[in-house]
Amino acid sequence: MIVNYATSKSGAERIVADIVAAGGKAATIQGDFSKPDDISRVYAEIKSTHGRLDVLVNNAGVYAYGPIEEVTVEEYRRQFDLNVLGLLLSTKEAISLFGPEGGSIINIGSGAGKMPPPYSSIYCGTKGALDSITVSLSKELGGRRYG
């Protein structure tokens, strides 16, 4: 198992220690999934080290709540670059490493995509997009064989 992290190496190492203590094998790889070059580098390392991928869990995400008056282009891009574009690019890279049996993709969403609270317009937009992307990709990729 590969545990990716953007900034919290110690957190990722704790997860790896738990997996190893339970009898599994795991390692960490650093990469900020809001940055396309980092995504490509992480998957190149996975390919070089492991050759293939069986399961992808898209769990990276950021949020910031605030009133509409505080919305900025920078905050919009920060959240959409990771929560939406990062998910798409990660999925694109992952499917290139699935074998002939295929693989599984798990996208971690939020209730905020369907029942948005106030002061969360950007974040809720990313989670609504994630919900739609998940349905679309399930229809696109569901019957494919890889390898």
Burial of 73 (0-12, 13-18, 19+ CB in 10 A): exposed
State yes or no: is 123 an active-site residue: yes
Among the listed residues 5, 43, 63, 123, the single catalytic one is 123
| Run of H or E residues at 4 | strand 2-5
One-letter amino acid of 83: N
Phi, psi for residue 106 in degrees, rounded to 5: -120, 115
- CB-count burial class (<10 Å; 0-12, 13-18, 19+) for 79: buried
Catalytic sites, residue numbers:
123
